[in-house]
Amino acid sequence: MNTRGCLVLGAIALGTSLILGLSSPTLSQPSAQQFQELANQIDQLRQEGNVQAAIPLAERFVALVETTLGSNHPLLAASLNELAKLHVEQGNYAAALPLYQRALTLYERTGGSDQPEVSATLNNLANLYRAQGNYAAALPVFERALAIAEQTLGVNHPEVAIILNNMGLVYTEQKNYPLALPLYQRALRIFEQTLGAKSPYVATTLNNLAGLYRAQKNYAAALPLYQRALEIREQTLPAGHPDIAASLNNLATLYFDQRNYAAALPLYQRTLAIAQSRLGETHPNTAVALGNLAAIYWQQGDLAQTLTLMKNVEEIEEKNLNQNLIVGSEDYKRNYLGTFQNSTDAILTLHLQSLPQNSEATALALTTILRRKGRLLDFLSQNQARLRQQLAAPDQAKLQQLTTLRTTIAKLVFASAEPAAFSQVQHLQAKANQLEAELSLSSASFRELTQPVTLAAVQRAIPANAALIEFIRYRPYDLGAQRFGEPRYGVYVLRATGQPLGKDLGSATEIDAQVRQTRLRLADPRLPKVEVQRAAQVLAERVMTPIRPWIGNATHLLIAPDGELNTIPFQALVDSQGRYLVESYMITVLTSGRELLRLQYRPATANPPLIIADPSFDRSFGNSSSSSATVRSLDLRDLSFAPLPGTAEEAQALRALLPQAQVLIQAAATEAAVKAANSPKILHLATHGFFLPNSEDKSLLENPLLRSGLALAGFNQRQSGSDVDDGVLTALEVTGMNLSGTELVVLSACDTGRGDVVNGEGVYGLRRAFTLAGARSQVSTLWKVDDQVTRDMMVAFYQNLRRGMGRTEALRQVQLQRLKDESPYYWGAFVSSGDWSPLILP
């Protein structure tokens, strides 16, 4: 299993010596002595592998340098670099990142960009990116470091070899072995020629080269390299050094791969003992060692020991996620979270395949899901609100700059498909990611405000009449093949009282195919109702019937889908008695059960409702679609729109139901007006919606938040629109809105619930964007909806809200009124997500 791969594969950090500059005449003799003593203590602790004890001394060293020499001295940069390296060795990437960035800025300011110290810091920064799975960020930084080192130190310098080794490690982790091999070979040759055959650096590269051969199942080539690396480390490093643990672990993993568990077990035990004593009980490498040891017991059939160890793994990884997920852009965070996928899948497999009736295994599996599924959406939405409320003025300016950049990107994407525009978009996106990363660091102090996610806390948030149904797409670990297999779906049910229950539902490929077929039939108004119902019943038998006994007498289903299940309206599925599920249950969609904890916090007082409807897409509609159908959707042929008469009528009806609402129609229904909205209690948007599937057209990029949006006034003339208003409101731009007090967003348009499905994080589209902006609940659609039907349903929905119904129940009652006479096409597309409670309307 080896849940997170080999322990410490062997990245090498560079850094200028802490004694650099101690002979400076600006230091008094007592200060110089103080520096030297601290530096010696830090160096001694590091050689011993006692990083925990070295960190506070390194922090003292930084403070002493800054106090004595000032904030622009090269020695400060060196000490920051050294402190950052220690944090990385402890797995505290969040603490290391700003230190590396500050050291880099200092070096470049005081000595220029082309000096060995810059190369060393770039190498260390790239190593940090690599450790978090951000390979796309790491490689260009490594390449820049290599160019500087070769130019300033020569092509055969040991520091050049260090960078080559680390680049090889990135390619190995990406399974790009042909690129990794020559880098390792060149690094090894340089180390042996310059440092000797017994150097610890030689051992590190031997270790990595062996890892490459092991990944290729060339065990005969890997074994002597692992053995030689271990021999060098035991001869040159103090007993119990973490690097010795790395060699022990990797040699054990080779034996594990060969099913020689008797040889692997004592080596894994020694690895764990060193990791716990030298790195600490919560170090990432301790989690890896525990996971690898669990794999041995699992293979040997000792499931009780396996479960105990995997519980420890999950707790350690949760601490590290809390510590490190606060830095970087969303992409950066998602890549880091992805490095935990193997352990997530292993925990789920342990329960669903090996211990399906074990209550402890069930609780561990569901706890892991609640802590990891939907985590980015939950964290980012909370962080966005904190940023707006608590950032200092300079960072508020950065937040505004980020919002402006996203608007510019969206305008470029929809205004031109030229290669030059695509290149400019890439440049602007890089700037936006950098700003996002800087703002993330600024809000690092807010992390303690996030409520811990536990099974008990989530269970307390479930109403007595409700059942949380948590679906998960996972890769089962195949004990025989020693690898993760084809994806499957699992499902867990949690009531307000009692133990959680879970089971495997079967092949994800088969279920996804059923989902797609069912969705196509539900979204087709031409099909006979009986054919649509038959497809909906087949899918329900696969994903809902198996858990029907666990739902019991619950009348409210809190459904958190995963994978392709995000694209299906559960209320339109049909049970074994031929009844739509909406007839038996109130159904609220969540990204994950953890969302229930966020919904416990009430927002600040909101402003009056805002209704945006019936935009003037252009002055004449001669260029719009010739189709006579008035559906609120995108005409993919020319990206232009015809008017929607129903939205004007909808706005007038809602004006009477929401007398305090601001209503903007025609030319006033602009993108700028929507983005200027400041926490309206209700935001109602009645217009054309769109979701563009991913295509080969590079002008659309890969960002699904740029391919999902709403059309507003001037859309058909967007090429001539202003920099801030081109008539296209993309999901990416929505993320910058301030909806922190908004109770309800109604997306009265087509395809507003669609987007790119990201396993474990839901759908990347408008619904996600409005949640990030702060909206507590939404009504959105999963396919093209009829203009007049939508008008009637929206009016009835608000009438129900005024009667005091909850948000989900208000929509349900509208659907119940229509389902007996109409195909699910007309009413099934509408989905209620988030807070389901009643709204107090004036």
Rounded CA gap, 694 and 628, in Å?
A: 27
What are the tens digits of pLDDT across the range 451-510?
689 999 999 999 999 999 999 999 999 999 999 999 999 999 999 999 999 999 999 999
The phi and psi torsions of 622 (rounded to 5 degrees) equal -65, -25
Instruction: Report which secondary-structure segment, H or E, holds 286.
Output: helix 284-299
What are the tens digits of pLDDT across the range 693-745?
765 554 444 677 777 889 899 888 765 655 667 788 988 889 889 898 899 99
The vertex-771 CA angle with 767 and 772, nearest 5°, equals 115
Same CATH fold assignment for domains 29-324 and 602-834: no
pLDDT(422) > 60: no
pLDDT, greater one: 78 or 642 = 78
Query: Would you give the DSSP letter of residue 434?
Result: H
Hey, which of 77-81, 86-90, 374-378, 456-460 has the most confident mean pLDDT?
Answer: 456-460
Rounded CA gap, 235 and 324, in Å?
A: 35
Query: Would you give the DSSP letter of residue 786?
Result: B
pLDDT band at residue 841 under the 50/70/90 scheme: confident
Mean pLDDT score, 87-116: 89
Burial level of 600, CB count in 10 A (0-12/13-18/19+)? exposed
Token output for 780: 């959105």
pLDDT(625) > 70: no
What are the tens digits of pLDDT across the range 184-203?
999 999 999 999 999 999 99
Burial level of 368, CB count in 10 A (0-12/13-18/19+)? buried
Token output for 95: 């603490």
Q: State residue 344's pLDDT score.
A: 97
User: What distances in angstroms separate CA 171 from CA 138, 204, 207, 208, 211, one per listed residue?
Assistant: 11, 16, 15, 11, 12
Rounded CA gap, 718 and 152, in Å?
A: 51
Instruction: Considering only CA atoms, give the Rg of the chain.
Output: 29
Rounded CA gap, 308 and 303, in Å?
A: 9
pLDDT band at residue 628 under the 50/70/90 scheme: very low
Rounded CA gap, 649 and 788, in Å?
A: 9
pLDDT band at residue 386 under the 50/70/90 scheme: low
SS3 464: coil
The topology (CATH level 3) of 29-324 is: 1.25.40
Q: What is the CATH number of domain 602-834?
A: 3.40.50
Per the prediction, the chain carries an average pLDDT of: 86
For the chain, domain boundaries: 29-324, 325-391+443-601, 392-442, 602-834
Rounded CA gap, 87 and 79, in Å?
A: 12
pLDDT(624) > 70: no
Check if the beta carbon of residue 42 is closer than 8 Å to that of residue 82. Answer: yes
Token output for 55: 């960190």
Mean pLDDT score, 394-398: 71
The phi and psi torsions of 240 (rounded to 5 degrees) equal 80, 15
Mean pLDDT score, 541-558: 97
User: Around 388, how many Cα atoms within 13 Å sit in the side-chain half-sphere?
Assistant: 18
String of DSSP letters for 330-368: HHHHHHHHHTTHHHHHHHHHIIIII-TT-HHHHHHHHHH
